[in-house]
Structure 1
Amino acid sequence: MGTITLNGGKTAIFFRSLCNIFMKKFTTKKMLLAFLFFVFVSCFVWMLDDIERERFRLRLSKYKTLPSRIVGNIPLRRTWTTKNYRRPNTSIPGVIDDILAMEPPPYLPDLKNPCWYEKTHRNISKRRCLPYFYLLGVDKCATTDLFSRMLKHPQILYTKAVNSKETHWWSWRRFGYDVFINNARIQHFEDYLHIFDPTSEQLTRTQIFGDGSPTYFWDFTGWPLIPQNKGLKFPRFLTPHCIKHLTPNVKFIIILRNPVERLYSDYLFLIRNNPTPEKFHAGVLLAMKKLSDCEKIYGTRLCLFNKTLHMQTQIRLLIGMYGDYLIEWLKVFPMHQFMIIKTEEYKKDIAEHLRKIFKFLELTELSQSELIRISSGRHAFERADEIKRIGPMLPKTKVLLTRFYSSVKLKVSDILPDNTFIWN
């Protein structure tokens, strides 16, 4: 190697002499090897330090990690505390929780709800619980009326959910969705548990609570955001898979109404800008055209699970296609975990339906007088006088929708072959 030439005073001469001595002693090859050795040692020391930090963190948290397990081809995380009960990056805005990668907690055997204890950041044990049952839906089929009466059973507790009923977490909140919205704040699994925390702390052996969000039954539009569906053209995992992964023995209640009447009731409930039967008819025609155009390209299943299509059709025609959604639930859960009732029959004899529901939920049987007391009173969300003055849908709209939903009725009757759900 050559020498370094510097111009200047005594300091420059001294520095030049020092550099020349150094470069004569160390060749380029030796300097490169020394640099590589330094990098290797630095990485090794950093690794040891990281391992030691992890050991210290585990000692501090005072819980033992469990060996990783595999469900299908989904690797499960191996912790029990809520902080680590989800993927580390799920606290980042815009990133949803990876439910299927969570390790199901060790549930307590003496409670009906799936509950467990976990350590808080202050090293205090806290009981967390998930719902014992879901009232899956459907919107405008008397879910609010039914749930409000169910809450009058002394063994069903209130929660911090809206009306002690709805969270919409599995269908909307965890994806940052809402009705006609796809860019709201993402709510995490911790947010969902927090809704039930006060109730979870006071649960006894015989008491339960549930989630009555009617969108769970039909809204699978968040499927592209589920990590295990990444890159897939068709959904492999939907809400039923996520719920079963954490709570495989949960119970479901579904209440179905004539889809024609349901749709008009839904329109009058949601539309605030001077609703009329004529506007409803025009909206139905537009919704049918959009669905038909979508089906030509993607097929019925993908269109039903398409958030854009749902947002573009304010007449929510797709919700009434009960059979398609019911099939998805029954692919994952056995029929004995469901109780499916008909709105029209429920309104005729509320007390008897409540008796069957309480029995299905394995609750203490109430006396007939108690059931009658709970069943009495006004129905929830009875139409106001100004809505009643709008009048019924146009006869031609009813004929159009009856034809459209005829295949839906046949599909439901094939799944539930007792002719109960054949609406006239």
Structure 2
Amino acid sequence: MNDQFKQILLCFILLLSIFYSVFTVVIWNGNEGTQKTTSYQSRYRENTSERTQTYAYYNMTETISERTALLKGVPIYLPRQMTSKSRSTSPSSHTDYKLRFLPNFKNPCWREILGNNVCTVCLPYYFLVGVEKCGTSDLHRRLLKHPLISQNVKKETHWLARLRFTTEGMQSLSAYLELFQDAVQKDITVIQQNGYYNSIFGDASVSTLWDNRYLLSNVFTANMTTPPYTNANVVYSLNPRTKIIVILRNPITRLYSSYLFFYKNTSIVDFHRRVDTSVQIHNKCLKSNSLRYCAYFVHGQIRLHIGLYYIYIEDYLRVFPRQQIKVLRLENFTRNIAGTMEEVFNFLEVGVPSEHIMQKITAQEKTNTNTRRLRIVGKMFPRTWTTLYNFYKPYNDRLVELLGNEYNYN
């Protein structure tokens, strides 16, 4: 009798387990229809079979700090449904598992359990990584006018390069995901057609290209010519299929525009003095250190180092294939706004919007120009221009070798 009772009990437990597993899968997956769209957006829909091969990685412990893991190019997601009391502190108890991005979302998204609810969280679809004073704000504002690109995002979060290292409470990747929850709730999980969610959002932080100081501070040596990792590796670890946008400008005019924008009590005399001093500091650094060390860690009295474009772009090309990086020139953008925006929309695979919307995008006034400041302060001295030309020339030559003659600023 006891044996029969045990068999019945085991069968009951087995059936209960099967029922629970099926119920959990249904709740977790929700309604994830994959029907094809018929609008113009459908032409840019990613292949579902390819998309399900991209993963986000979880680690269910805090015993390894998130900073340390990201230094190694391994992202640790701390699920928000786990309170500090429920997290284990035993190094042997952590579990890694793979979570597929949802196949019916264009943006990289997945489900998380928060209390009794299942919510959707998403990483940026693209990264506008730089460069400052090269028209990034103007490009960003025009991008957001596309009906499939969320406007509910803040520009310049700087989380990857700075915020997570310098601000209390912002260390976890969950804090980063929270920065985009407006976009997720108001656009990414709302705009859909035939069960497919086409809307995307991006991270537009220009420091992500060149500011690796905090990331590399513990590992970079003076004579290291190739860093073991940069922000590019961190972005790749988040989503290896993401798209990178960089916009460049003549490094000389970029530097002067940066000076007029960020510094107080500006004058052409002060600018010349800062340029001279910064060039001397850089050249002195090169006598005993590698170029990358000087570019990443030794900065003078002005943001001279940001114009060393080829160094930062080369570090991204070490990680991402060329087809995932779109490099623009402000000079071309200014001359042909419509053509450039069409290029970018096609690169992001969201399609070119209607003629009416494109007219609004191209008619928008330019953002963050220094025209008034330039009129007040005046043009830089010719000798300042010559100093900067001679300084940047070898680095501009390397940029041409990397990207082609279209990017020749000499």
Distance in 2 (alpha carbons) for counterparts of 1:410 and 1:129: 39
Q: Which residue of 1 aligns with 2:92?
A: none
> Helix, strand or coil: the match of 1:286?
helix
Helix, strand or coil at the partner of 1:108: coil
- Selected match of 1:87 from 62, 78, 94: 62
Amino acid at match of 2:238: L
Partner of 1:399: 386
Q: Which residue of 1 aligns with 2:106?
A: 112
Change (3 A) 1:160 1:365: closer
The offset of 1:175, in angstroms, is 1.9
Letter matched to residue 168 of structure 1? H
Larger Rg: 1
Note the 1:166-185 alignment, pairs <5 A: 166-176=156-166, 184-185=167-168
Which one-letter code corresponds to 1:108 in the other structure? L
Which residue number in structure 1 is paired with residue 117 of structure 2? Answer: 124
Contact 2:260–2:373 (8 Å) recurs in 1: no
Question: Using the alignment, how far apart are the partners of 2:223 and 2:104 within structure 1?
Answer: 43
**Aligned-residue identity in percent:** 32
Given residue 307 of structure 2, which amino acid in structure 1 is its aligned partner?
Answer: G
Letter in 2 for 1:87: E
2:316 and 2:306 map into 1 onto residues whose CA distance is: 15
Q: 1:333 to 1:86 in 2, by over 3 A?
A: farther
Give the letter for the 2:139 counterpart: L
Whether 1:206 aligns to 2:198 is yes
The CA deviation at 1:187 is 2.0
| Equivalent residue for 1:193, pick from 168, 177, 188 | 177
Q: What is the rounded CA distance, in whole Å, between the counterparts of 2:153 and 2:311 in structure 1?
A: 32
C-alpha distance after superposition, 1:226-256 (max 9, x if no partner): 7xx4999843121111111120000011110
Maintained 8 Å contact 2:143/2:149: yes
Q: Which stretch shows the higher mean deviation, 98-107 or 166-175?
A: 98-107
Equivalent runs, 1:1-12 vs 2, <5 Å? none
Residue 146 of structure 1 is aligned with which of 136, 139, 143? Answer: 139
1:157 is matched with 150
Shift of 1:389: 1.1
Q: Which amino acid aligns with 2:163?
A: R
* Residues 1:256 and 2:260 aligned together: no
The CA deviation at 1:224 is 3.2
> Helix, strand or coil for the counterpart of 1:333?
coil
SS in 1 for 2:386: helix
**Deviation for aligned residue 1:381:** 0.9
Among 247, 258, 263, the alignment partner of 2:239 is 247
Matching residue within 374, 377, 399 for 1:390: 377
The Cα offsets for residues 351-378 of structure 1, whole Å up to 9 and x where unpaired, read as 1110111111111322344323211132
Greater shift, 137-146 or 199-208, is seen at 199-208
Aligned length: 324
Q: Match of 1:134, SS?
A: strand
Q: 1:323 aligns with which of 297, 306, 310?
A: 310
In 2, Cα distance between the equivalents of 1:225 and 1:130?
26
Which one of 57, 64, 67 corresponds to residue 96 of structure 1?
A: 67
Query: In 1, Cα distance between the equivalents of 2:302 and 2:373?
Result: 20
- Equivalents in 1 of 2:60, 2:301: separation in Å? 37
Tell me which moved more, 405-414 or 105-114: 105-114
Counterpart for residue 292 of structure 1: 283
Provide runs of 4+ in structure 1 moved above 4 Å.
229-234
Shift of 1:384: 5.6
Partner of 1:28: none
Q: How does 1:315-354 map to 2 (within 5 A)?
A: 315-354=302-341
SS where residue 341 of structure 1 aligns?
A: strand
- Between 263-272 and 383-392, report the one with greater CA deviation: 383-392
Task: Supply the distance in 2 between the matched residues of 1:316 and 1:98 (Cα, whole angstroms).
Answer: 30
* 1:34-84 deviation line (CA, Å, top 9, x unaligned): xxxxxxxxxxxxxxxxxxxxxxxxxxxx99xxxxxxxxxxxxxx984xxx5
Q: Is the 8 A contact 1:79 1:85 kept in 2?
A: no
- How many Å separate the matches in 1 of 2:133 and 2:141? 14
The answer on whether the counterparts of 1:118 and 1:126 sit within 8 Å (CA) in structure 2 is yes
Equivalent residue for 2:344?
357
| Secondary structure of 2:180 counterpart | helix
1:142/1:255 contact within 8 Å kept: yes
Cα deviation code 1:174-229 (max 9, x no counterpart):
221xxxxxxx5462212111001222234141100001111111111123357xx4
Counterpart of 1:375 (choices 344, 355, 362) is 362
CA distance in 1, matches of 2:295, 2:118: 43
Unaligned runs of 5+ in 2: 1-23, 26-55, 77-95, 192-196
- Higher RCO, 1 vs 2 (CA within 8 Å, ≥6 residues apart): 2
Q: TM-score, normalised by structure 2?
A: 0.73
